[in-house]
Amino acid sequence: MDRYQFTFDPRKKGLRKILGDLEADVMEAIWARGQATVHDVHKRLTVADRELAYTTVMTVMSRLADKGLLEKRKDGAAYLYVPVASKEEFTRRTVGTVLSELLDDFTAPAMSQFVDLVGDEAVMEALAKAIDEKRKREDSDV
């Protein structure tokens, strides 16, 4: 998954910020099952009041495998697609990449905006605790 290049669109919701709409739907379907064939995903996605060609789902799943989000395994006559990372791990890595890139290019404004957006006292306390724990780990590594 480290090689996956994505586009970040802050106007969209959830996974759609980083994946296309159909890519997000496919990944959600596969994460829900743990693994799936094109037939499994096509069946799940066409139930939701939308016409979707089988070949379209197959193309999207193949591209997700090419991008490193899915692993493609031969299973008899079909292919079985397995997520390379859990949804939580994918989200954590992607958020890490976005934050890292923002901090690399816009350190001061990124930190300032982050602190301004963290308005809840409990969240600020959790952030302060995380910073303290990070400092302690770094001090013990020296």
**What's the pTM?**
0.78
131 shares a domain with 105: yes
What is the CATH classification number for the domain harbouring 27? 1.10.10.10
- Give CA–CA dist 27/41, Å, rounded: 9
92 shares a domain with 65: no
Write the pLDDT tens digit of every residue in 8-37.
Answer: 888 999 889 889 899 999 999 999 999 999
Residue 36 domain boundaries: 14-83
69 shares a domain with 47: yes
74 shares a domain with 94: no
User: How many residues belong to the chain?
Assistant: 142
The Cα-based distances of 66 to 1, 4, 25, 36, 98 in angstroms read 10, 9, 17, 16, 21
Tally of CB atoms within 10 A around 142: 4
- Residue 65 belongs to some domain of the structure: yes
Both tokens of 56, joined, read 């379209």
- Residue 3 belongs to some domain of the structure: no
Given this model, what pLDDT does residue 142 score? 65
Average pLDDT, the chain: 89
Q: Which of 87, 92, 105 is nearest to 29 (CA)?
A: 87
The dihedral through the CA atoms of 111, 118, 130, 19 has a sign that is negative
Q: What is the dihedral of CA 94, 97, 101, 103, to 10 degrees?
A: 100
pLDDT tens for each residue of the chain, 142 residues long: 455 667 788 899 988 988 989 999 999 999 999 999 999 999 999 875 678 999 999 999 999 999 999 999 998 999 999 999 999 999 999 888 888 888 899 989 888 888 888 878 888 888 889 889 989 988 887 6
Q: Which helix (H) or strand (E) holds 79?
A: strand 78-83
96 shares a domain with 77: no
